Amino acid sequence: MSAVARPKNAPRQMSGAELDQLAINCIRTLSIDAVQQAKSGHPGTPMALAPLVYVLWNRVMRFDPQDPIWPNRDRFVLSNGHASMLLWSVLHLSGTRAVNADYERLGQPAVSLDDIRHFRQLGSKAPGHPEYRWVSGVEATTGPLGQGVANSVGMAIAEAWLASRYNRPDFEIFGYDVYAVCGDGDMMEGVGSEAASLAGHLALDNLCWIYDNNRISIDGNTRITFTEDIAARFLGYGWNVLRVGDANDIERIESAIDIFHKTKGRPTFIILDSHIGYGAPHKHDTSAAHGEPLGDDEVRLAKRAYGWPEDAKFLVPDDVREHFAAGIGARGAEAHGRWNELFAAYRKKYPELAAEIDQMQRRELPHGWDRGLPTFPADAKGIAGREASGKVLNVLALNIPWLVGGSADLASSTKVALKFDGAGDFEPGTPGGRNIHYGVREHAMAAATNGLALSKLRAFAATFFIFSDYARPSIRLAAMMELPALFIFTHDAMGDGEDGPTHQPVEQLASFRAEPGIVLLRPCDGNEVVEAYRYVMQLRHKPALLALSRQPLPTLDRSKYASAAGVARGAYVLADPPGDEKPDVILIASGSEVSLCVDAHEELMAEGIRSRVVSMPSWDIFEDQPQAYRDSVLPPDVTARVAVEQASTFGWERYVGTSGRVIGMKTFGASAPLKELQRKFGFQPERVAKTVRELLGRRKAK
């Protein structure tokens, strides 16, 4: 271990190597001190990976600390998010500035020394794990292992796509690299494997993962859990696999990254052999260094090993700040300045493309984005939700050039294929394609979709609703990151009948309704599908989920019933009895059960029962409406209410109250044709009408 730290009043000029070491030890000691002060956190991995992060930031990355949202910056994803102190240290030392939600550059630091002193405390810009949106310079929220590396694949797809669409001869507007740092956990998680397999297939040579091979996770040495030949695995995926045998050898690290830059047609995987808790004599190479403070004595010993003043806390020598300013600061400013000039010339020559880039960066939609959206005429036979969705999506994608996405091997069933001239497939050799084929990898698809959205593309992903379970962790992060990603789920109930209970969602609607920060819509006919898309496309900071039917749903006659524009309010009165008198009963439904309620309503009205039908495609949107509107749809004094939905009944008490009824699912479904399932589980107009009569204490009129 070196003893070259000269933190204070260094009497002579330090050599470059000494400055490197001083900077690395500064990252280490800031991390140690922050964890010690917080009495919680993960010191060991920052101690080990400080040299790597130092090299990446101060020597390699094109990143301008003055403008952390410069579109052509290299991306850095810390997939082992528990090592967040690495990021807080380097954001602080590089002097990275903050930006706000309106993309305005603020003068203040993204992470101040005071934030680091308050690591993991409320309000600090140095939280426990990297949080996108909360801390400028964080490219993705990480913590759930495997997510960050999978996001990075979406980011690399985005870069290739952007370069393909916008670069012109002599105008390399996009040409950045994506780095992800990861650990054993990321490599053990399935989503990491899915993502690596996809990245290899797509030959993403702008992508570099650096794997912290420390052979330690929480429960101890990985010999008890993780003994595969990881190099062979990544070779098998088609990656360029490199190894750096000493995490302290910064020259070797830099040359491995240099090889990454020169490698075409394959992503690069660098196995970095490291020692968790490096420098702490009793915790080095042990899982004890992973997730708890070192303790005062061990902190002292580690600092001694680094040649650092043992009693100094949160010490940042001026030399270190200057060294970062001369490194990433100067390099980033220079690269960004050159790019600004290039982009100004590009704007003159290609004003329309430049305007697209501007709009995209601000998550705006181009003028005329909703031009040509279809209207579906009344039709008893109707159209399937997925079918209407495919038509709408194709129109939107024509109007919004940066709307891209795909499905997990279900493009033909989910109807999300973009089919217009020139849409094309995103594949190696055709990186401008708009259709991404994710293969049967739902989790990586959702995580990559987040990566696309983080890169400011409008991204969609599709599969059957039941398989949202395979994508859920990434959807949750999309909500947390406030990304306008669009998840299109078809086969939203029992419509795939014969496939049986394994394919029939029951609890998914309730579970996503319970999740904060998501807009879920389950439209009832073709025109509600159009309105659902119109609503979700305008979201700039929220993911949206569409639950769409597999089977045709009658297209309601909107001259008889209310306009589908009511979708924008989450729920609306679709059908009402004539006159001003209040209804006797309210039927509430979403999706495929709405037309069923309309039929029941007609039957009840014929019997003299004044029923109202409320179409409720979205609880989330409805909850955001003013009380007066909500009361106008569901008048508090009309307590006879029946909700009908082919899903778990869980939660519907909110709208039907304790005296209402819910016709829904209390079990899993079954394998049979849809008609039989509807009969078995009671999704028939007669059953709804019968429930209403029971509720009102009426007999069926003869």
The pairing of beta strand 216-217 with beta strand 220-221: antiparallel
Q: CB-wise, 20 or 186, nearer to ligand TPP?
A: 186
Tell me the window of 81-89, 216-224, 316-324, 407-415 that interacts with Mg ion (CB under 5 A). Answer: 216-224
Could you say which DSSP state residue 367 is in? T
Task: Single out the segment in contact with ligand TPP by CB under 6 A; choices: 138-146, 362-370, 559-567, 655-663.
Answer: 138-146
- In the bound state, the residue with its beta carbon closest to Mg ion is 184
183 binds ligand TPP, rule: CB under 6 A: yes
Residues in the chain: 702
Could you tell me which stretch among 93-101, 208-216, 313-321, 385-393 binds Mg ion (CB under 5 A)? 208-216
607 secondary structure, DSSP code: T
Binding of residue 145 to Mg ion (CB under 5 A):
no
- Which one of the spans 183-191, 381-389, 435-443, 560-568 is the region binding ligand TPP (CB under 6 A)? 183-191
Contact in structure between 652 and 643 (CB atoms under 8 Å): yes
183-202: which residues touch Mg ion (CB under 5 A)? 183-184
Identify which of residues 184 and 620 has a Cβ nearer to Mg ion in the complex. 184
Among 486, 561, 479, smallest CA distance to 521 is for 486
Cα distance between residue 256 and residue 407, in whole Å: 34
What values do phi and psi take at 633, rounded to 5? Answer: -85, -40
Site for ligand TPP in 193-212 (CB under 6 A): 212
Could you count the other beta carbons within 10 Å of the beta carbon of residue 103? 10
Distance CA 320, CA 146 (A): 32
Task: Fill in the per-residue mask, 257 to 276: x = in contact with ligand TPP (CB under 6 A), - = not in contact.
Answer: -------------------x
Contact between 214 and Mg ion per CB under 5 A: yes
213 vs 691 by CB, closer to ligand TPP: 213
At 177 the three-state DSSP class reads coil
* 185 contributes a contact to ligand TPP by CB under 6 A: yes
CA distance 534 to 528: 10
Taking the complex as a whole, how short is the minimal distance between the CB of residue 184 and ligand TPP, in angstroms? Answer: 3
Beta carbon nearer to Mg ion, 35 or 546? 35
The interface mask with Mg ion, positions 479-518, x = CB under 5 A, is ----------------------------------------
**Residue 548 binding Mg ion, by CB under 5 A:** no
DSSP 57: I
Q: Residues with catalytic annotation?
A: 442
Residue 218 contact partner, candidates ligand TPP, Mg ion, none, CB within 5 to 8 A by sort of partner: ligand TPP
Please say which residue, 293 or 577, places its beta carbon nearer to ligand TPP: 293
Position 612 contacts ligand TPP (CB under 6 A): no
**650 vs 470: CA distance, rounded Å:** 21
Strand-pair category, 105-109 with 97-99: antiparallel
**Quick one: what does residue 144 bind among Mg ion, ligand TPP, none, with the CB cut-off 5 to 8 Å set by partner type?**
ligand TPP
- What backbone phi and psi angles, to 5 degrees, belong to 216? -130, 135
CB 186 to ligand TPP: min, Å: 6
Whose Cβ is closer to ligand TPP: residue 275's or residue 323's? 275
> Measured from the CB atom, is 214 or 648 closer to Mg ion?
214
For residues 277-336, which are near ligand TPP according to CB under 6 A? Answer: 290
The residue within the footprint of ligand TPP, chosen from 30, 150, 195, 216 (CB under 6 A), is 216
Q: Is 213 in the site for ligand TPP (CB under 6 A)?
A: no
Q: Residue 383 touches which of ligand TPP, Mg ion, none (CB < 5 to 8 A by kind)?
A: none
CB of 127 to Mg ion, least distance (A): 22
Q: Is 45 in the site for ligand TPP (CB under 6 A)?
A: yes
User: Per-residue x/- mask for ligand TPP, residues 353 to 392, rule CB under 6 A?
Assistant: ----------------------------------------
Q: Which partner from the list ligand TPP, Mg ion, none does 143 bind, CB cut-off 5 to 8 Å by kind? A: ligand TPP
Q: Pick between residue 276 and residue 457 the one whose CB is nearest to Mg ion.
A: 276
Closest CA to 278 of 469, 48, 576: 48
Amino acid symbol at 4: V
Considering the rule CB under 5 A, would residue 81 count as an interface residue with Mg ion?
no
- How far CA 617 is from CA of 58, 565, 580, 602, in Å, comes to 51, 11, 25, 21
Task: Pick one of 46, 109, 143, 552: the residue that binds ligand TPP (CB under 6 A).
Answer: 143
Of 392-451, binders to ligand TPP (CB under 6 A) are: none
CA 272 – CA 536 distance, rounded (Å): 43
Residue 213 sits in the site that holds Mg ion (CB under 5 A): no
Query: Cβ of residue 476: shortest distance to Mg ion, in angstroms?
Result: 24
- C-beta closer to ligand TPP: residue 126 or 158: 126
The answer to whether residue 151 forms part of the interface with ligand TPP (CB under 6 A) is: no
Say if residues 350 and 168 touch (Cβ distance below 8 Å): yes
b/e 340-370 (16+ beta carbons within 10 angstroms → b): eeebeebeeebeebbebbebbeeeebbeebb
Q: Is there binding between residue 216 and Mg ion (CB under 5 A)?
A: yes
* Region of 86-94, 180-188, 313-321, 662-670 interacting with Mg ion (CB under 5 A): 180-188
| Cβ density class 226-244: b for 16+ within 10 Å, e for less | eeeebbebbeebbbbbbeb
For residues 166 and 455, is the Cβ–Cβ distance under 8 A?
A: no
279/117 Cα distance (integer angstroms): 22
Strand 207-213 vs strand 178-182: parallel, antiparallel, or unpaired? parallel
d(CA 300, CA 321): 23
Select 48 or 357, whichever has its Cβ closest to ligand TPP: 48
> Is residue 456 within 8 Å of residue 444, measured between CB atoms?
no
Name 585's bridge partners. Answer: 611
State the number of binding residues for ligand TPP (CB under 6 A): 19
Phi-psi category of residue 608: left, alpha or beta, with phi > 0 → left and psi -120 to 50 → alpha: left
Whichever of 188 and 638 has its CB closer to ligand TPP, that residue is 188
Please enumerate in sequence order all residues whose Cβ is within 8 A of that of 111, keeping only pairs 6 or more positions apart, or say none. Answer: 88, 91, 92, 96, 125, 126, 135, 137
Residue 145 touches which member of Mg ion, ligand TPP, none, C-beta under 5-8 Å by kind: ligand TPP
Q: What phi, psi does 80 have (nearest 5°)?
A: -85, 75
DSSP 440-503: S-HHHHHHHHHHHHHTT-EEEEEEEGGGGGGTHHHHHHHHHHT---EEEEES-SSTTGGG-GGG
Asked if 57 contacts 308 with a C-beta cutoff of 8 angstroms, the reply is no
Among ligand TPP, Mg ion, none, residue 290 binds (CB under 5-8 Å by kind): ligand TPP
User: Contact positions toward ligand TPP, by CB under 6 A?
Assistant: 45, 80, 82-83, 143-145, 183-186, 189, 212, 214, 216-218, 276, 290
User: Contact positions toward Mg ion, by CB under 5 A?
Assistant: 183-184, 214, 216-217
